[in-house]
Amino acid sequence: MLWALRHLLAIGVLPFTMAVAIPVWLARREGIVFQPGPGTIQLFAQALGASLLAIGIVLFLASVRQFATEGRGTLAPWDPPRRLVVRGPYRYVRNPMISGVVFALFGEALLLLSRPHLIWALTFLAINCLYIPLVEEPMLALRFGEDYREYCRQVPRLVPRWRPYDPR
């Protein structure tokens, strides 16, 4: 029970705020509601958006599962994984959780055909492009040492590699 509460708190505070609360607030503030696009291009963009949103959710959930089962921690900085996670989606990309949220945010922008949501997605991406290499990765290198540095040499930060990384 405590395990589930730890994960729900971490998810509620971080990704839920970024991928649900802020986009809902933007939609309400700007009067944006979902409606099918008026033309073929808009409908195609919305279909692409729905696909990106689905990919983002699957990637995010798979990442949370790996953190819980392999890492024995949560996505939250105050309750991080106790072991280095290099399986599941982490075999392809170092930050699948952030990639999942980015996919979801761009998916929402396309699904809603919303410029404010696109700006939010770009802002979130830019913040993480700075935060990850400047703050998160140095802390992980201190915590996990050479294993993490080797993992960084083999697995890209945000764009997945084609073949899975094998830590052996």
Distances in Å between the Cα of 21 and the Cα atoms of 27, 79, 159 are 10, 22, 26
- What are 125-133's contacts with CB under 8 Å, separation 24+? 128/95, 128/98, 128/102, 129/158, 132/95, 132/98, 132/157, 132/158, 133/157
pLDDT tens figures, 35-77: 998 999 999 999 999 999 999 999 988 988 888 788 777 776 7
Interval 151-161 mean pLDDT: 90
Q: Please, are residues 3 and 97 in contact by the beta-carbon 8 Å criterion?
A: no
Provide the token pair at 97: 């959780």
Provide the token pair at 32: 């944006």
What is the model's pLDDT at position 40? 95
Cα separation, 157 vs 46, whole angstroms: 27
pLDDT tens figures, 115-152: 999 999 999 999 999 999 999 999 999 999 999 999 99
Confidence of residue 5 (pLDDT cuts 50, 70, 90): low
- pLDDT of 10 > 70? The answer is no
Q: Return mean pLDDT, the chain.
A: 89
Cα dihedral 37→39→41→45 (10° resolution): 10
Distances in Å between the Cα of 111 and the Cα atoms of 23, 54, 97 are 12, 11, 21
